Structure 1
Amino acid sequence: MTDIQAMFSDPQAVARYTEGPPRFVPGYNAMLSMAAILLAERVPENGRILVLGGGGGLELKAFAQAHPAWSFDAVDPSAAMLGLARQALGSFAPRTRLHQGYIDDAPEGPFDGATCLLTLHFVDAEERRRIASEVRRRLKPRAPFVVAHLSAPTGEEERPLWLSRYSAYLAASGVEPDQAAAARNAVTNHLEILAPEQDEVILRQAGFSDTTLFYTGFTFRGWVAYA
């Protein structure tokens, strides 16, 4: 976790951040559009959304553009990433409150919906369960929670196969071979990747119901669940 915190505080890494997700996450922009659609099924026109791991501002900007009356509370441990979010939001910034910290630093709500995108693979299973429980506690009944992160089968043959496919995707997308190899090594050695069924169990244990897979991009998966 210390290495991750350092990475998201490094000025050069932060400056390049917005280039990363669209290049390194298959179907990233489509995933954001789908997340907004899933939220909008139950979030009212003037809804309030909790965005956990909202530093960088990419999902905040996408949601704000799609829904002009929504407001947001974004939480992120990195001050530098929150500054980047503020820049990315531009004219949408007045609808967003930025909070430096973790889930315990988030407002109590209650919120009409919540997201946690490309974040939970930075923490272990027990902390994911705690985070999901704290998110649920802050949501109105039946409010949607949209999550997406690294998730892949754990078999001795399956996991390397999926990681190889991910590396091949990066190369096919124009990422330099050394960068693609470095990305695979980082995913393998520094992130907590659970099997999809483990991720779904965590959501159920946190009190969410009707968990549904809506997005798969090689080693990435996304679900919507309801408080």
Structure 2
Amino acid sequence: MSRFQQQGAVEYDGRIGTLVPGYAALHQTSAAWLKATLPAQARVLVLGAGTGAEVLALAQQNPDWHITALEPSGDMLAVARAKCAAAQRHNVAFVHGYAEDLPVAAPFDAALCLLVMHFIDTTAAKQQFLNQAAAQLVAGAPLLLCDLMQGHNIERMAMVHYAIGQGLPESQGEALQRRLQTEFFALSEAELARLAQQAGFRQPEVYFRALGFAAFVLLKAE
């Protein structure tokens, strides 16, 4: 997608907090949840690391975690690298590519996938994505996943009004509403639970919610 490439990658941080309610709190809450459950030397995989918001939140919670940041957009990954260098975070390995590009024998103690899977456009591809995520985790490890979920029109309108309240020009409100309908491929919570179970995870449990966005803990079955 063009908004994740070149100038879109550079401008990403300036717009994402406007569009996603609780964006900063989501990352801080996710890192805190892992802090409460993981050992000091844990191996953490960030699927779709983007410009590094998750990586920095994780490093702030525990600088001794070994973090692998996986991102298919080279431009986004370059921003993440620069951020981590500026913050002197040296415990991050950057991988340009997809989950299938990771070594098969690279088990992680936890993974994050925040605001990624709702861009995958088919159920079959979402299933494959979850299967690949599960393959990278040790038994009992958590996958923290947040996406835009299926919702009703009032909720979507509230998201538009939220964005306008955060600084989005009102003239762009209708375009945002159309994007929410056409560029996001949202699951219901029941559908997510079904796909998660087929990938080898237990029942998803909510740990964060803001308007149409919901974050879940998926524990890999032992």
Q: TM-score, normalization: structure 1?
A: 0.90
Q: Pick one of 100, 114, 133 that aligns with 1:117.
A: 114
Q: Residues of 1 paired with 2:88 and 2:37: CA distance?
A: 22
Aligned residue number for residue 140 of structure 2: 142
SS of the counterpart of 2:204?
strand
Alpha-carbon distance in structure 1 between the residues aligned to 2:189 and 2:217: 13
1:63-102 map, 5 Å: 63-90=58-85, 91-102=87-98
Match of 2:103 among 102, 107, 113: 107
CA contact (8 A) 1:152 1:162 kept: no
Cα distance in 2 for residues equivalent to 1:48 and 1:226:
15
The aligned amino acid for 2:47 is L
Deviation at 1:74, TM superposition (A): 1.2
CA offsets 1:132-184 (integer angstroms, 9 cap, x no match): 1111111111111100011023xxxxx22221111111122222112333222
Q: Residues 178, 197 of structure 1: CA spacing in aligned structure 2 closer, same or farther, 3 A cutoff?
A: farther
2:118–2:185 Cα contact (<8 Å) kept: yes
Whether the 8 Å contact between 2:10 and 2:76 is mirrored in structure 1 is no
Aligned partner of 2:205: which letter? Answer: T
Distance 1:221 1:97, change over 3 A: same
Partner residue, 2:161: 168
Code of the aligned partner of 1:18: D
TM-score by length of 2: 0.92
Where 1:142 maps in the other structure, the secondary structure is coil
Q: Residue 132 of structure 1: SS of its match in structure 2? A: helix
For residues 105-133 of structure 1, give each alpha carbon's deviation from its aligned partner in whole angstroms, at most 9, with x where no partner exists. 12332101001011001102211111111
Pairing 1:12–2:7 present: yes
Alpha-carbon contact 1:51-1:114 (below 8 Å) kept: yes
Structure 1, unpaired ranges of 5+: 154-158
Displacement of 1:200 in angstroms is 2.3
Alignment root-mean-square deviation, CA = 1.5
Q: Which amino acid aligns with 1:140?
A: V
Q: Which residue of 2 aligns with 1:156?
A: none
The 10-residue stretch of structure 1 (46-55 or 123-132) with the greater mean CA deviation from structure 2: 123-132
- Output the amino acid matched with 1:104: E
Q: Equivalents in 1 of 2:140, 2:162: separation in Å?
A: 36
Shift, 1:210, TM fit: 4.0
Listed as ranges, the gaps of 5+ residues in structure 2 are none
